[in-house]
Structure 1
């Protein structure tokens, strides 16, 4: 992807909230580090954007629409000016679609020159804020490119280098997440911490009939988990020999293992659905729980 002559762009959604400001600075730093451009998007939702609540949400007339468009344009201009002060050599473009925020960002994610989409974990007030991280969850479930979600408060601003913490479980989604994590670690010269969580098998098979002796052998279960993780990391290690990798097999639930390992300055990378996920779910319980529980940026890779 980095070898193509086509310029790639990092897309970031802004709405004036604290978390979107952190998302803006983080995405600009990533774009500058990797030689990419930055697309800043703020969406001006249509009158029926409230969905099922549209009948009880007060609507204004043309004046309110004009005010919203004017405010959105002012926000875009301020965001662009702010970023160019921090990164004067960065290519920056802006977008102001009339659409729901998630729809607008998904449209940008589907463009062939988009490499990633970045959003804050929670926007400004209104009914939508009752659904914590609703835009990030919807994007992570449907975006064809990695989605990075930043919390309301975030330590790693411009110039701060953290580790890359990736969940590993041998699934196809996990393999793509590991590929993304290695690329990030290579570009930012960060250490990669691969976390492979395992749990005693006896707890899962006891209700299914006689329990084989090996189900009680934690050492055997851990060894299997480590072999799975090593196999998943092997190819990426060959492609990125300069990336320092620390593989940690942890006896814990995957969410607990990943969140315990990560600090607010780290980028956490997870797949949309792990080995144990239901195929009908677009976003698994582990990735959702990590998104809600992390204190730093989280990248979700399909």
Structure 2
């Protein structure tokens, strides 16, 4: 083995250190968060809970307060996450952080995973019928091939 190979850092060989989970308030995203929390606990990894705030240019052009609405959703999500974490505190501990990013769900999760140096990404399966044609966020993340991706039904 050369000196260069022996000193090179290989990410992910000791288990994940950062697990990113996308949460949008849907049932499948909450199941994904629960799965990711269990994984983070077992691996002693940081759970990065990510909400991607959609940017709806059409709604904004019509005078709809999009930013205020998505900010309110983010606040509701963080409140629910804090309450769940408090209920589980005596059962098991999970280190977690909540992050919000703006954009479409796919690009927002990619940005989050890159910036947070994710070792794994967990998402819920899409509940929208149209995604069978266009491709869901989960399928696009898997095809990107940049991290192990777990899709929770």
Instruction: Give TM class, smaller chain.
Output: 0.7 to 0.9
Q: Which structure carries more relative contact order (alpha carbon 8 Å, separation 6+)?
A: 2
Report the CA distance between 1:155 and its aligned residue. Answer: 3.7
The alpha-carbon deviation at position 265 of structure 1 amounts to 5.6
Larger radius of gyration: 1
Q: Choose which of 161, 168, 172 in structure 1 pairs with 2:23.
A: 168
Q: How does 1:261-300 map to 2 (within 5 A)?
A: 261-263=112-114, 266-273=119-126, 277-278=128-129, 281=132, 285-300=136-151
* TM-score (ref. length: structure 1): 0.41
| Runs of 5+ consecutive residues of structure 2 not aligned to the other structure | 1-9
Aligned to 2:107: 256
Offset, 1:161: 3.7
- Distance across 1 between alignment mates of 2:125 and 2:152: 6
CA RMSD of aligned residues (A): 2.8
* Residue 81 (structure 2) aligns with: 233
Mapped partners of 1:204, 1:278: distance in 2: 23
Indicate how the Cα distance of structure 1 residues 165 and 240 shifts in structure 2: closer, same or farther if over 3 A, else same.
farther
Secondary structure at 2:65 match in 1: helix
**What pairs up with 1:1-150 in 2 under 5 angstroms?**
none
What SS class does the counterpart of residue 123 from structure 2 fall into?
Answer: strand
- Per the alignment, residue 223 of structure 1 pairs with 71
Q: In the comparison of the two structures, how many residue pairs are matched?
A: 139
1:135-179 alpha-carbon deviations (Å, 9 max, x no partner): xxxxxxxxxxxxxxxxxxx8412x244211000100011010011
What's the TM-score once normalised by structure 2's chain length? 0.75
8 A contact 1:222–1:249 mirrored in 2: no
Q: 1:192 matched to which residue of 2? A: 47
Moved segments of 4+, more than 6 Å? none
Unaligned runs of 5+ in 1: 1-153
